[in-house]
Amino acid sequence: MCGIVGYVGPKEAWPILISGLKRLEYRGYDSAGVAIMGDKGLQVSKCKGRVADLEAHVGKKGLKGTVGIGHTRWATHGEPNDVNAHPHTSANGELALIHNGIIENYATLKEELIKRGYVFRSETDTEVLVHLIDDIQRTEGTDLAESVRLALLNVVGAYAIVVVDAKSPDMLVAARKSSPLVIGIGNDGDHFLASDATPIVEHTRNVVYMEDGEIAIIEKEKGLRVRNIKNQELRPSVQALEIQLETLEKGGYDHFMLKEINEQPRSIRDSMRGRLNIAGSEVVLGGIKDYEQKFVNAKRILVVGCGTSWHAGMVGEYLFEEFARIPVEVEYASEFRYRDPVINEDDIVIAISQSGETADTLAAIELAKSRGATIIGICNVVGSSIARITHAGSYTHAGPEIGVASTKAFTAQVTLLTLMALMIGHRKGTIDGARFQQLLLELDAIPAKVERVLKTEAQIKYIAEIYKDARNALYLGRGYCFPVALEGALKLKEISYIHAEGYPAAEMKHGPIALIDEEMPVFVIATQGASYEKVVSNIQEVKARKGKVIAIVTEGDTVVKAIADHTIEIPASPDALVPLLAVVPLQLISYHIAVMRGCNVDQPRNLAKSVTVE
C-alpha cells in the first residue's frame, strides 16, 4: 500500500526516483509524485495515474537536483486525484513529505491545526503531518529531525514517512512505525530509501532495515544517523541483500503473473532445497530447529494470515491434522486481532505472509506474542517485518512476487507447510516411516509434475475463450482441495472482476445450487482420491441443472470426462500434495480470462500487493 522512495547523494535524483517508483508500483498505482531539491528551492510534481503519467507530466528532462523523494499511492483517505497525490507540502512550499500508512488521529490533529490557521488543500490524513512538522519548526525553533520526532510523538497510527526541507537542502529525514522502510548505503557516498529493497538492489547490496520507532537522518556530508523516538542515538545494522536483479524483470513474459505461474517448478524446488533429505529420510528446517520440541508438545496450532496466505493456511490445517495429529485453527488475521481469542503459552501460531508486511497479520502476531504463544513465520520477503518479529520461521524462497495476484507464493507456502507437518509428524511418530519416505519422494516429484501441468496451457486458453464473458463462476473442491477452490475463485475475481465463489463441493446443495443454470461455469477439482466418488456425484448434480462443468481430473480419468463439459488433466499424486498441482490450471485460467477481457493483470483495480493498512 503506497510505495515510497528517496535519494541523497552526488547523482541526479530524478531517474533514480522514477525507476524506484516503477519497481514499487505494485504497492499502489492511483497517483504518483516527486519532490526534488533544486537550485531555486523545492520542486514538486504530482498527478493522478501511474508513474508513466508522472513522467509524461514532467517531460523528458525530468527535474534537476540530487536530493529527493517520490511516492506511488494506493488511496485510503481521499479519492485518487492530483491534489491528494503525495508529496504534500507546507503552505510556503519549503517542506515536502511522503507517507505510507494511516494517521488514525488525523481528524483531531487537523482540527487543532485549522484553529492555528493552517489551510488544508487535500482530503488526505497525510497532510496533517506536514503542517504539524511545520508548526513545530516555527513554534519550537527546532531543526528538521527534531521537529519530525516531536511531531510523531503526537501521532497515532501507522507510518513510513520521508521529509525534505528547503532549509536543510542536503538532508532527508525518515521515520517508521508499522510500515516498512529500507535504507540502501551506496558506494559513492549516496543513500537510498524505499518501502522494500527492490528499488535499491540495482544500486547497492548494503541495506539497513528500519525498525519501528526509528528516525533516520541522512545527509550528504555526514551520511546516515539513526535515533529512536526518545532521541537516543542507535547504531544501524547493515545487512547484505540477496535478491537477484533479473528476478525483478518480466524475462520475456507479457506479465509478471504469467512469469510467476511458470516459475513454480523452480520456486517449489527452491522451497525444498536443503530441507528435503530423501537419502537420510528426514526433513530439516534449520529456521525452526530450536522450536521442534515445542511443536511436538503443542496441544494446538493457530494459523493466521490473509487472502491467499489464509488459503495456504487452510491446506496447512489438513496437513498438520493428518500427519502430526495436532488440532489446527485457521484464522483471518483481521478477525483474530479484534477478538479476545483464547491463547495459551503452549500454543504455536504459524503466521503466513508473502510480503511479511500485512498490517492485520502483524497485529495478530503482536497479540498472540503478548499472550505468550510461540510464533513461527512463513514469509517470502527476506528481512520483512513479520520475518523479524516472529520467534523463528522459514522463508519460502519463492523469489520476488511482483504480480499483485499471488501465485508462486501460494505453492511455496503450501510446500513449506507440507515439509513442517511431515517433519513434526515424523518426530512425533504419528506418521510411519515407510509412508513418510514415500511422501518425501512424492514431494520431490512435484516440480516435474507442475511442469507437466503447465503444458496444458493451450487447452486452458481454449476454455478461457469460452467462459471469458461469464458474469459469475463457482469453484468446488473437497478436503485438501476445498482451499484450492477458494484460491481459484479469489484469483478469478481479483484479476478479471468476474464474481466467483469457492465452496466445499458438498455444501453446494445447501444453497449455491440455486445459482446454477446453463450460464454458470462451475470449476470442480475432481481428482482421484478419498472423496472422488462424492465429487463425481456433485458434478452430476450440477449437470442435472445444466451448469457447465470444467473439471480438474487425474491423468487418465474417464468417469468425469464422460460427464463434464471440459476436463484438464493433472498427474496423479497423494491427496495431500494435490493442491500444489490443482491450483496451477486455476491460476492459468484466471490469467487468460483476465487478459482476454482486457484487464490489467499485474495491477488489478483497487488492489495493492502489500496491504500495510488494516
Nearer to ligand F6R, 358 or 496 (CB): 358
Question: Least distance from C-beta 260 to ligand F6R, angstroms?
Answer: 11
306 binds ligand F6R (CB under 6 A): yes
Catalytic residue list contains 546: no
308 binds ligand F6R (CB under 6 A): yes
CA distance 90 to 312: 45
Catalytic residue list contains 379: no
Instruction: Confirm if 303 and 317 have CB atoms less than 8 A apart.
Output: yes
- The DSSP code sequence of 271-302 is HHTTTEETTTTEE--GGGGGGHHHHHH-SEEE
Q: Within a 10 A sphere around the Cβ of 290, how many other Cβ atoms?
A: 10
Instruction: Confirm if 87 and 46 have CB atoms less than 8 A apart.
Output: yes
Nearer to ligand F6R, 208 or 490 (CB): 490
Which one of 307, 313, 425, 571 is in contact with ligand F6R (CB under 6 A)? Answer: 307
- Separation in Å, CA 56 to CA 24, 42, 46, 98: 18, 20, 11, 21
Region binding ligand F6R by CB under 6 A among candidate stretches 218-226, 245-253, 305-313, 421-429: 305-313
Region binding ligand F6R by CB under 6 A among candidate stretches 128-136, 352-360, 472-480, 506-514: 352-360
Nearer to ligand F6R, 307 or 483 (CB): 307
Question: Least distance from C-beta 311 to ligand F6R, angstroms?
Answer: 8
Question: Least distance from C-beta 76 to ligand F6R, angstroms?
Answer: 15
Question: Least distance from C-beta 404 to ligand F6R, angstroms?
Answer: 6
Question: Least distance from C-beta 399 to ligand F6R, angstroms?
Answer: 14
Residues near 147 by beta carbon (within 8 Å), at least 6 away in sequence:
133, 136, 137, 140
Q: Residue 117 is placed in which grid cell?
A: 490557521
Nearer to ligand F6R, 301 or 387 (CB): 387
CA distance 495 to 157: 30
Catalytic residue among 48, 177, 548, 609: 609
CA distance 65 to 43: 9
3-state secondary structure of 132: helix
Instruction: Confirm if 262 and 457 have CB atoms less than 8 A apart.
Output: no
Nearer to ligand F6R, 43 or 354 (CB): 354
Count of residues that bind ligand F6R according to CB under 6 A: 14
Could you tell me whether strands 239-240 and 276-277 are parallel, antiparallel, or unpaired per DSSP bridges? unpaired
Region binding ligand F6R by CB under 6 A among candidate stretches 29-37, 159-167, 233-241, 306-314: 306-314
Nearer to ligand F6R, 87 or 604 (CB): 604
Place of cell 503443542: 298
CA distance 133 to 137: 6
Region binding ligand F6R by CB under 6 A among candidate stretches 63-71, 317-325, 349-357, 587-595: 349-357
CA distance 343 to 351: 14
- Pattern 392-431, binding to ligand F6R, x per CB under 6 A? -------------xx-------------------------
Residue nearest to ligand F6R (CB): 307
- Pattern 483-522, binding to ligand F6R, x per CB under 6 A? -------x---x----------------------------
CA distance 53 to 366: 39
Nearer to ligand F6R, 174 or 405 (CB): 405
354 binds ligand F6R (CB under 6 A): yes
- Pattern 574-613, binding to ligand F6R, x per CB under 6 A? -------------------------------------x--
Q: Within a 10 A sphere around the Cβ of 312, how many other Cβ atoms?
A: 32
Residues near 59 by beta carbon (within 8 Å), at least 6 away in sequence:
none
Which one of 355, 374, 411, 538 is in contact with ligand F6R (CB under 6 A)? Answer: 355
CA distance 381 to 426: 29
Q: Residue 190 is placed in which grid cell?
A: 549516496
Q: Where in the sequence numbering do the catalytic residues fall?
A: 2, 609
Residues that bind ligand F6R (CB under 6 A): 306-309, 353-355, 358, 361, 405-406, 490, 494, 611
